[in-house]
Amino acid sequence: MTTTEISLPLFPGATTRALVHPPRMPSEQPQEEAPTSAPGVVLIHDLAGLNPFAEDSAARFAAMGCFTVAPDFAAASLPDGSSDTGQQLLSLNDSAVVKGVSGAIDWLCNQPSVDAARIAVAGFGWGGAYALMAAAHDRRVVVAIDVGGTITHPVSTPQSPGSPLNFVGDIEGAIFAAYPEHDPLLPHNQVERLERQLKDHDRSGEVKTYSGTGPRFWEDDALPATQRMWERLKNFLSDNLFTGEIEANSMGGYPNEASRLHA
């Protein structure tokens, strides 16, 4: 199946365009062995909007066997009548974005080829923070993926009254978090606080800082760190979303032991 564009209802009064990537099964797999339903993934883009990187990331999840939908929050028509571009995403209310993610999950769960018991939310940069917050507010999320998202806000605002860190204890699913080593917006002490929160609340997951990397390193596929991150994520999904249905890392074994909080 090919990628399609749809009009996605986020919640009453708000719709947006979204890209849908059906799962792409390995070509060598006999058709009769394909699963009757696939895990669903909501992909939340970064501040650049639904750009080629976001589209490629959605395609990567589809290549792993996930039914993926990527809403364009920059194009969303919000209940207050405003229309926000990619440069205005920071002005959106956290509650509106979280409700929008839940709306995307509603849509996924209504697709006959999606297993509603296996839903993940993945975000990069701006979207990473909302992956954590959405997982805390929607019990259907079994895996939350935050790559480089804000962990704490320096000050509370009407748009962002609470930091993502505050919601970690409410997340029931497994958490995959990956951060650059050198990013002034993500100091190491914040990453350490996130690790402590997962441990204190006995949450399953892993937190990893990639040595030598800077802001948005994940957008550069030529970096070895980016390649390792995707391999780790593939293995994490194998353990927590596919229960071993996708092939393990060709490097052999599970390479996440150093940063896993719970086996």
Q: What is the pLDDT of residues 137-149, one digit of tens each?
A: 999 999 999 999 9
pLDDT at 243 over 90: no
The domain that holds 91 is classified in CATH as 3.40.50.1820
Q: How many residues does the chain have?
A: 263
262 domain residue, yes or no? no
Distances (CA, A) of 44 to 133, 144, 184, 185: 12, 11, 22, 19
The pair phi, psi for residue 19, each rounded to 5°, is -100, 135
Query: How sure is the predictor about 156, in pLDDT bands with cuts at 50, 70 and 90?
Result: confident
Q: Looking at the domain assignment, is residue 251 inside a domain?
A: no
- Beta-bridge partner residues of 67: 40
Kindly state whether residue 247 falls inside one of the protein's structural domains: no
Task: Tell me the pLDDT band of 85, cut-offs 50, 70 and 90.
Answer: low
CA neighbours within 13 Å on the CB side: how many for 28?
1
- Rounded distance, CA 160 to CA 100, Å? 15
Question: Residue 246 and residue 111: Cα distance in Å, rounded?
Answer: 22
Please report the pLDDT score of residue 260 as a whole number: 42
pTM, entire model:
0.87
Half-sphere exposure of residue 212: CA atoms within 13 angstroms, side-chain side = 4
Q: Which of 13-17, 67-71, 193-197 has the lowest mean pLDDT?
A: 13-17
Kindly state the average pLDDT of the residues 100-116. Answer: 96
Residue among 8, 96, 208 nearest 88 (CA) = 96
pLDDT at residue 231 tops 80: yes
Domains contained in the chain, number: 1
Mean pLDDT over each residue of the chain, to the nearest integer: 86
In this structure, what token pair is assigned to residue 250?
A: 């060709």
Report the percentage of the chain scoring pLDDT > 90.
70
In a domain, 136, yes or no: yes
Q: Are 225 and 217 in contact (CB under 8 A)?
A: yes
Single-letter code of the amino acid located at 235: N
In the 8-state DSSP scheme, what is residue 186? S
Domain for residue 255, yes or no? no
216: left (phi over 0), alpha (psi -120 to 50) or beta: left
Q: Kindly indicate the confidence band of residue 25, based on its pLDDT and cuts at 50, 70 and 90.
A: low
Alpha-carbon distance of 50 to 79, in angstroms, equals 21
Domain membership of residue 136 as a residue range = 4-240
Identify any residues that bridge with 146 across adjacent strands, giving them in sequence order. Answer: 123, 177
In a domain, 111, yes or no: yes
69 part of a folded domain: yes
The conformation of residue 249, written as its DSSP 8-state character, comes to P
Q: Is residue 60 part of a domain?
A: yes
Q: What's residue 24's pLDDT?
A: 83
